[in-house]
Structure 1
Amino acid sequence: MTERPADDTRRMLWQFAPMIYGPTLLYGIGQGAVLPLIPVIAAELGASVPVAALVASALVVGQLVGNLPAGWAVARIGERLTMMVAAGVSLVGVVAMALAPVLGVFAASVLLIGFSAAAFGLARHSFMTTRVPLSFRARSLSLLGGSYRLGVFVGPFIAAGLLAVFDDPHAAIWFFGMCLLATGLLVTFGRDPERSLMTDAASAPPAPTTHTAADDTMSEDTGEAVTGSIPTADRAGVFRTMWRHRNVLSRLGLAAASLSAVRSARQVVLPLWGVSLGLDAQTIALVVGVAGAIDFALFYASGQVMDRFGRLWAALPAMVLMGAGFIALAFTHDLDSAAMWFAMFGAVLGVGNGLSSGILLTLGADVAPPADPAPFLGSWRTLTDAGGALAPLLVSAIAAATSLSIATGAMGVIGLVGAYGFVRWVPRFVPRAR
């Protein structure tokens, strides 16, 4: 009898594998294979180094501007159809990337893929928000984030193998296309987990409901899975939803954006720090790789902590570790043992990032209106993606004006301010009943 909760959780998560986790893993593998080669192909088409970096950033820009339209689309046509359309549009973008005759077409294709990625990501986020019980919401969403991280981790190794065999970076683009095709097939023909959930709900005894108030403007959330169709009555548009929930978006949403900024800054600061120390590429790659491995190893532990002890118990340690890690790293640049401190604080940042796995997804699901979450999640994801997109620009600007050490310390300050924001706003907005 004591094993039943774990068995129920495992069965629930397996039900989402064909339509959610499998497609997410495939998409991550394909995208991870292409990402490192976008600047390379842009350079082959005549781009300078700054322009190649700008083309690579088009993926993030496309995702950023695609969140709000994606929220509208999910609210109107549903999650599954949105994911199918997004996979199809991405496939068109991949073909255009592979066959692009000029740099402009290639850049537009990258932008289109980022736009479609926003729709795909928001659709699966909304799907999980309305179907997963509150009791293991964090674990399910941490697994979702971990599936994507695994794909992005594996993808570059596959790209390296394809380059060794075909000696052409376009091979990775066609591989991404194959992953997208498989993703579309899984989403279209995979077993619908909602039908299984309806069957389980019909055979299970009624569960007691919980009543928690997240905010004066928020709808009540029982914490139970939504197993039927999502109600269509009184649907609010994207901008009306943003205004209605401006309270939580301007408070908890900004704290979440600071977490996204610190995460993104880590990916920029660590390689730059290694270069500034004069380390060779292999050493830098090893430090970044170890930090990434630690990060990935902790993704499910983050969900366990959030489900058992509360969201703040994962968000606060993650932000404090990353904020303090950046600040401490900023003081080590001119030390004799700078390389050792670089490796150590790289691992610390990896631990902090791993503990934050799934937090943004989970908090967004917690505070989204349960009857119609998609427009709200579009606004939420726009905030968090904006934080991630602005952080590298902020690091570059501060480093150019002052030094890399000051830029690194500034990101640490943002992390600690964000930690305070989580302490201040998570208890107010997030339902605590389990």
Structure 2
Amino acid sequence: MLMTSAGPTFRLGSVALPVYLPGLLFSIGEGAVIPVIPVDAARLGGSLALAGFISALIMVGTLIGDIPSGWIVARVGERTAMIGSAVAALIGLVLCFLAVNPAMLGIGVLLLGIATASFALARQAFMTTFVPLSHRARALSLLGGMFRAGYFVGPFLAALVIGLTGSTRSVFAIDLIACVVVAIVLLVLPDPSAVLAARREAHLTDTGAIRVAEGEVRREGLFRTIARHRQVLARMGLTAALIGGLRSSRQVILPLAGVSLGMQESSIALVVGIAGAVDLALFFTSGQIMDRFGRLWSALPSMIGLGIGHLALAVVVGLSVAAASATSVAWFVAVAIFMSLANGVGSGILMTFGADLAPRHDPAPFLGAYRFTGDAGNAAAPLALSGLTALVSLSFAAGALGVVGLLGASLLARWVPRFIPRPVRA
């Protein structure tokens, strides 16, 4: 991939391995353990409600870690922050592996979520600083694709290990190994930030360009950054929360809809797996669309599609209550694939928005606050889905979230052109 950053022309491919490989490894490990966390919590004596709460602690940890991770990355740098995140995840996983009660397991899961926040933000901050606007969406969509690929592969690897060992506890060893390998990769391979910064400085020196000395770059700090960009965070942060919410609700509502239709667990897993593969296949296409035609050409179809998909799912589930049939199941499969297409078209959009909006010289504090809004939506939507389902019905909950998706699309159409410049055609 040919790029221009601060003048010099270079290929991101020259540092692609240290840029993308750590994210893939980290997400494979986490993707393996996420499905077994509630199982292990129940094995340790937790109720179903407590098992669900412990599973949710990974997202709670991510929310807790989002904002301070921006400060940490700004202070110590991307690679050091990622190594520290891998070490923190290791500590959390050791607690999970040795857990003798649900509380110990919950602390380990919470620490894993905090480490995830810092790890993901560090790599996004690197992309924001070094990847030019004309290629930013493709680079970030590829990064998002690495995380999605890891979360897709991880559960299959977990199933294999459980089949070989007969123990769900052994799955934590997968993530332990993954974090160790991540730390080794980060230590052994060249630091991409240092490599690209050196190329930029060499170019400026060769051309006689005026550059700002490193010490002259003013860092505003976490709270000053949030205060200065409060208008952007309030408006674009709300859209990020709605996008994150629709995405996370899709992951929860599809299995629930399958259960409501009376499908077997294996059939539901197969449909969700196929839908996940469709989603994964589109991650780079999303980046191409955003870079060539503009962010809205990816974001709007994604949000409109997710909104319509939730509304269609409400109809399918509602009609099946009156008369469950094979036709209802067929429509469920079609809606699941449609929602995955919509989600895939928007792959990387939140990271791209964050990179577009963040200050180029010191993006980490802003990105921490911005990521918090999106992750808040991720956490809130499943809770809203559960509450509406308990109070009314699953069909009503799906319909309500569909309306929220269409509302989110209207907010995107209003705020994106105002705050995010249209990229140069590549």
TM-score above 0.5, yes or no:
yes
Q: Which amino acid aligns with 2:258?
A: G
Matches within 5 A, 1:29-428: 29-198=28-197, 201=200, 233-333=217-317, 334-335=319-320, 336=325, 337-428=327-418
Q: Does 1:431 align with 2:421?
A: yes
d(CA) in 2 for partners of 1:184 and 1:125? 18
Distance 1:202 1:115, change over 3 A: closer
- Assess if the C-alpha contact under 8 Å between 2:217 and 2:361 holds in 1: no
- Assess if the C-alpha contact under 8 Å between 2:291 and 2:423 holds in 1: no
Distance 1:430 1:24, change over 3 A: same
- Assess if the C-alpha contact under 8 Å between 2:62 and 2:117 holds in 1: yes
Match of 2:208 in 1: none
5+ residue gaps in structure 1?
A: 207-226
d(CA) in 2 for partners of 1:426 and 1:123? 24
Match of 1:222 in 2: none
TM-superposed CA distance for 1:16, in Å, is: 3.7
TM-superposed CA distance for 1:288, in Å, is: 0.9
- Assess if the C-alpha contact under 8 Å between 1:326 and 1:412 holds in 2: yes
d(CA) in 1 for partners of 2:240 and 2:213? 29
d(CA) in 2 for partners of 1:61 and 1:89? 16
TM-superposed CA distance for 1:193, in Å, is: 2.2
- Assess if the C-alpha contact under 8 Å between 1:82 and 1:120 holds in 2: yes
SS in 2 for 1:300: helix
Equivalent residue pairs, number:
410
Q: Which amino acid aligns with 2:260?
A: S
- Assess if the C-alpha contact under 8 Å between 2:221 and 2:365 holds in 1: yes
d(CA) in 2 for partners of 1:73 and 1:305? 33
297-306 or 252-261: bigger deviation = 252-261
Match of 1:218 in 2: none
Distance 1:84 1:400, change over 3 A: same
TM-superposed CA distance for 1:101, in Å, is: 2.1
Distance 1:232 1:127, change over 3 A: farther
TM-superposed CA distance for 1:198, in Å, is: 4.7
RMSD: 2.2
d(CA) in 1 for partners of 2:158 and 2:344? 25
- Assess if the C-alpha contact under 8 Å between 1:231 and 1:372 holds in 2: no
d(CA) in 1 for partners of 2:290 and 2:44? 47
- Assess if the C-alpha contact under 8 Å between 2:275 and 2:337 holds in 1: yes
d(CA) in 2 for partners of 1:61 and 1:199? 38
- Assess if the C-alpha contact under 8 Å between 2:3 and 2:10 holds in 1: no
d(CA) in 2 for partners of 1:399 and 1:231? 55
Q: Which amino acid aligns with 1:130?
A: T
- Assess if the C-alpha contact under 8 Å between 2:92 and 2:111 holds in 1: yes
SS in 1 for 2:170: helix
TM-superposed CA distance for 1:93, in Å, is: 1.2
d(CA) in 1 for partners of 2:187 and 2:238? 35
TM-score (norm 2): 0.92
d(CA) in 2 for partners of 1:36 and 1:101? 19
Identity of aligned residues (%): 47
Distance 1:11 1:299, change over 3 A: farther
Q: Does 1:28 align with 2:31?
A: no
SS in 2 for 1:50: helix
TM-superposed CA distance for 1:250, in Å, is: 0.9
Distance 1:233 1:196, change over 3 A: closer
TM-superposed CA distance for 1:201, in Å, is: 4.4
TM-superposed CA distance for 1:4, in Å, is: 6.4
TM-score (norm 1): 0.90
d(CA) in 1 for partners of 2:308 and 2:294? 22
d(CA) in 2 for partners of 1:11 and 1:54? 47
SS in 2 for 1:234: coil
